[in-house]
Structure 1
Amino acid sequence: MGLETLSRGLLLIEMLSQYVLFGGVWLLCRTGRRSQRVLEALDTGNTVLIGAVMALSPFDHPYPVAGAYEMVLALMAVLCLRAIIVPSSARRTLLLSIGVVTVGMAALLVATRIRDTSPFAPRLLFLLVLCWSALAVTAGTVASAVIYGLRKQVRDARKLGQYTLLQRLGAGAMGEVYLASHAMLRRRTAIKLLRAGSDGQGLERFEREVQLTSQLTHPNTIAIYDYGHTADGLFYYVMEYLEGVDLDGLLAVSGPQPPARVIHLLRQVCDALEEAHGQGLLHRDIKPANLFLCRRRGVPDLVKVLDFGLVKDLGESRDSASSRSGTLTGSPLFMAPEAISTPGKVDARSDLYSLGAVGYALLTGTHVFEGRGMVEVCAHHLHTPPEPPSQRVGHALPEDLSGLLLRCLAKRPEERFASVQELRDALEACADAGKWTKVDAERWWLQHGAAVDAAGSTRRVAPPLTGAQTVVAKDPMSRAA
């Protein structure tokens, strides 16, 4: 009766020890990031302690033989599960498994000497347990070698030079964007990768985009860190990783913006375009989706101009992309009239038209022109005068800002502002300029941040993908004109 009570007590202690051990290790791993050395120490200690707890089976079981088999089955399960779950090399798994089995075999030797057994049972039992333990060690080591090797292959396949791809953020017609991490700097970045099978023209445009964009260093322009080719010849480049919402998401969440904020956002875009235009580069795809509003510490409303995939160098004799393909590139809702009728003759004032259309959308919550299809929208840009913002929303809006936007939306380029500097000066002269403060921005994010998250508009993303822009056939547009 005393032996049975002792056995039950030891069995209870064994079970409780296992639960406490597993729970403690789980909490340690879940409460924060640990270094590799700490994780390896936890792995070693946890596995050895589990083996020690399992080794109590021959002691607490009423029959030593049954307890020995219970021990070896538990050890086999633990070693094989560890090999599957814990990333470990075959050598480490082999050494750790041998150590655990050694503890178990030593416990079995002690148990068979203490408990009553026949003279031949201990040797036979020890031999059988040793064979099964050797099988457990072999199975665990082989499993670690295979799984660890596969993990390494996947990790290597997800590397681009010093960058490791963490997850895909988006995909377009020509490429994909991934969240990545630099091996040494531990800095999160975004990588744009040209999809395999893209034609030569797509690759040429992709390389041209990074070469031209990398020349721009203004804080309101997306920063390019690096670029290169993968081992199999794919072109990629690395850019800063942004957190926030694009202006499309801003409109979806809170609708029309206060005039002071519209001015604040447009001035930042002007600053970025001033640098680009000063270097002879046109954006040609200014639209809300390409203007990203970052929520950064100290600067809650920082605008980043994204995606120079349709950039044009005014120093070139012609635009190779549009000339060879016979197409118009851009976004019809924000496209200047001359970009539709004579795309080869666009200049900096075309970007100002698009920026005026963005400002109109921010101020009124609606696009300048809408239609049943792309051709109808383009026809409106060519021939229909824009409706005054106050008339569109049905209440008074600042006349200086409204007039400024309508001037940007003039059909003839010479009737618009002559340069982005002139537009910025006009924005600064508006009565509401400077009235959108840091406090206002912080209050807006505090009030709408949860709604933005719930709507799925907040994105930790890189610029939209080259090739994702709308491509409008030139002939139908000519007929529409």
Structure 2
Amino acid sequence: MSDEQSGSDADQGLIGTVVSGRYEIVKHLGSGGMGSVFMAKQLAMDRMVALKLLHAHYASNKQAVARFNREMQVTAKIEHPNTIRVYDFGQAEDGRIYLAIEYLEGHTLSKALSAGEPMGSERLVHIGVQIGKALSAAHSDGVVHRDLKPDNVMLLDRYGERDFVKVLDFGIARFMDDASRTQLTAEGAVVGTPIYMSPEQATGGVLDHRTDIYSFGVMLFEMATGRVPFDAPTTISLMVKHVQEEPPRPSDFAPGLVPDAIETLILQMLAKNPAARPGSAAEVVRALEGAIEPTGALAAETWIQSGLGDTQDGTAPVPVADTRTATATASSRPGDLATRPERPGAPSEGGRAPRSRRGLLFGLAGVLVAGGAVAAIAVASGGQPTPTPPTDPDAGSVVGAADAGSTDPGEIGRSVQQLRRSLEQIAGKSDYARAVLEQADEADRALISVAPGRPRAIREESPVDALDG
């Protein structure tokens, strides 16, 4: 019987047992170089957790146990929505070290990248910003990840948001490095994952938060292109490339798909000299957020959020876009539904609603997108622009305002609801906001006329789902 089979049998044999009188093991989730992971029930709290049991040899080293306790105490203090929650840690009856953490249902970033295709810049930014914020929170508490890779990033559907990020295993790599240093240094082993390893990590140099920024840059490169910047047949030759070779340009592998600002940022993050990289994860987040211009409903959401927030002196700030931009982005995105020929009354791709209904949906979104931006600007400037919401020059109707362009329906639905709420909040201050809401209500009534029995569907649920019924 192989060691792997023996370990697997031993893990399966733990199902139904209770660890430290607190955690009843329910299911074996997986095993790795540091130990095994189980789904377990925390008996006192009646909730499911992920329980990591480290290999027994770690427990035999008292210094390693002390280091683990220190690392977990620091890691447990990291409080950020994009970092996994540490509930508890200690030693089981047999001496093995355990760690109880938040149980997550989702998939890893590795799985999302498994097809080897570019992710697309908008999704890259959405995921990358969250990873950067998690790193920033950890670095602020003095925690360096040291083994940042797609396997340690979970993507969840949470709070109605796709690709909600959780970064895992802060503190674990530092513990493993210190616990293994004596026995592994002579063998030339290095703790970490070579594909994502920084040059200073590969050479055994001093590590700080900038090693995470390098690893993060490798991940962004892979998200942008579908492949990693360096590959080699052996671990040693791969580490040599990280130390000596300049990274290729992402656009060489994904022509026309990587915005210049994202490419520049990735190459800066992959600098051999840590001092040449962005100085902090927060700096990376700012660069990502400014790397692409939001389009359609996403742009409107940005305008409204920036236009309705209060400044320190209590006045509303001037939004980042003007009405011309708002109108253009609401009605001129290339490659959308308006450019795709369809049979009259036939469902579009994915069995979605017929075009006549979708036109009304996007018309309502268009009213709120462009009108909401103007209303926000009006409140910010104290003015009252003349209520002249955008119209379709061909149809001459507010309902068709956005029919010449579209964006992701789910994104539109969420932004429509947010924009409605925002406009309702400022309606008392702006005649224009009230006018926009009245125009939206008109489009809403028209929508109901083609979806009888579904009043206020656009406000209550996903617009496309409401129309598909």
TM-score, L = length of structure 1? 0.54
Deviations 1:60-105 (A, max 9, x none): xxxxxxxxxxxxxxxxxxxxxxxxxxxxxxxxxxxxxxxxxxxxxx
Match of 1:415 among 251, 276, 285: 276
1:128-160, CA deviations, whole angstroms, 9 ceiling, x for partnerless residues? Answer: xxxxxxxxxxxxxxxxxxxxxxxxx98873344
Going from structure 1 to structure 2, the CA distance change for 1:441 and 1:399 (only over 3 Å counts) comes to farther
One-letter amino acid of the structure 1 residue matched with residue 51 of structure 2: I
Which residue, 194, 205, 215 being the options, matches 1:354? 215
| 1:336 CA drift (Å) | 0.9
Residues 1:276 and 2:138 are matched in the alignment? yes
Distance of aligned partners of 1:253 and 1:184 in 2 relative to their CA distance in 1, 3 Å threshold? farther
Structure number having the greater helix percentage: 1
Q: Is the counterpart of residue 225 in structure 1 residue 125 in structure 2?
A: no
The alignment partner of 1:231 has SS state of coil
Say if 2:16 and 2:25, in contact at 8 Å, map to a contact too: no
Tell me by how many angstroms 1:204 deviates.
4.8
Matched, 1:158 2:14: no
Q: Pick from 14, 37, 51: which aligns with 1:177?
A: 37
Structural RMSD (CA): 2.9
Q: Paired residue for 2:75?
A: 213
Aligned to 2:102: 240
Q: Output the amino acid matched with 1:182.
A: Q
* Pairing 1:167–2:38 present: no
Residue deviations 1:375-402 (CA, integer Å, cap 9, x gap): 1111111111111111122445210111
Native 8 Å contact 1:257 1:362 kept in 2? yes
267-276 or 248-257, which deviates more: 248-257
Matches of residues 15-164 of structure 1 in structure 2 within 5 Å? 157-164=17-24
Say which SS state the counterpart of residue 329 (structure 1) adopts.
coil
Q: Is the 8 A contact 1:282 1:351 kept in 2?
A: yes
Aligned mate of 1:364, from 218, 221, 225: 225
Tell me, in whole angstroms, the C-alpha distance in 1 between the residues paired with 2:116 and 2:225: 12
Cα-to-partner distance string for 1:157-190 (whole Å, 9 max, x where unaligned): 3344232110111112332111011224331111
How far apart, in 2, do the equivalents of 1:171 and 1:204 lie?
23
What is the CA deviation profile of residues 431-469 of structure 1, one whole-angstrom value per residue up to 9, with x for unaligned ones?
A: 2468896995969xxxxxxxxxxxxxxxxxxxxxxxxxx
The whole-number CA distance in structure 2 between the counterparts of 1:436 and 1:160 is 51
Q: In structure 2, what is the equivalent of residue 192 of structure 1?
A: 52
| Greater relative contact order (CA < 8 Å, ≥ 6 in sequence) | 1
Question: Structure 2: which 5+ residue stretches go unaligned?
Answer: 1-12, 302-406, 412-469
| Amino acid aligned to 1:165 | I
Counterpart-to-counterpart distance in 1, 2:116 and 2:409: 13
Tell me how far apart the structure 2 counterparts of residues 436 and 246 of structure 1 sit (CA, whole Å). 28
Q: How far has the Cα of 1:341 moved from its partner?
A: 2.1
Q: Percent identity of the aligned residues?
A: 35
5+ residue gaps, structure 1, are 1-152, 314-318, 444-481
Q: Does 1:341 align with 2:203?
A: yes
* 1:296 to 2:158 alignment: yes
Aligned partners of 1:156 and 1:168: how far apart in 2? 11
Q: Letter of the 1:286 partner, please give it.
A: L
Distance verdict in 2 for CA 1:419–1:390, change over 3 Å: same
User: For residues 213 and 147 of structure 2, what CA distance do their matches in structure 1 show?
Assistant: 11
Q: 2:26·2:39 contact (CA, 8 Å) conserved in 1?
A: yes
Question: Is contact 1:260-1:432 (8 Å) kept?
Answer: no
Conserved 8 A contact 1:194-1:234? yes
1:42 — aligned with what?
Answer: none
CA distance, structure 1, for counterparts of residue 39 and residue 165 of structure 2: 20
The 3 A distance-change label for structure 1 pair 205 and 294 is farther
Distance (Å, rounded) in 2 between the aligned partners of 1:250 and 1:194: 27
Cα distance in 2, alignment partners of residues 205 and 435 from structure 1: 50
| Alignment TM-score, normalising by the size of structure 2 | 0.56
Once the 2 structures are TM-superposed, how far is the Cα of residue 251 of structure 1 from its aligned partner? 0.9
Which protein is bigger by CA-based radius of gyration? 1
Aligned length: 285
User: Comparing 321-330 with 409-418, which one deviates more in the overlay?
Assistant: 321-330
Q: Which SS does the other structure have where 1:168 is aligned?
A: strand
> Which letter does structure 2 place at the counterpart of 1:188?
M
Look up the equivalent residue of 2:280 and give its one-letter code.
Answer: S
Q: Which residue of 265, 274, 277 corresponds with 1:404? A: 265
Aligned residue for 1:6? none
Matching residue within 425, 434, 452 for 2:286:
425
Q: Secondary structure at the match of 2:241?
A: helix
Pick closer, same or farther for the CA change 1:392–1:169 going to 2, 3 Å: same
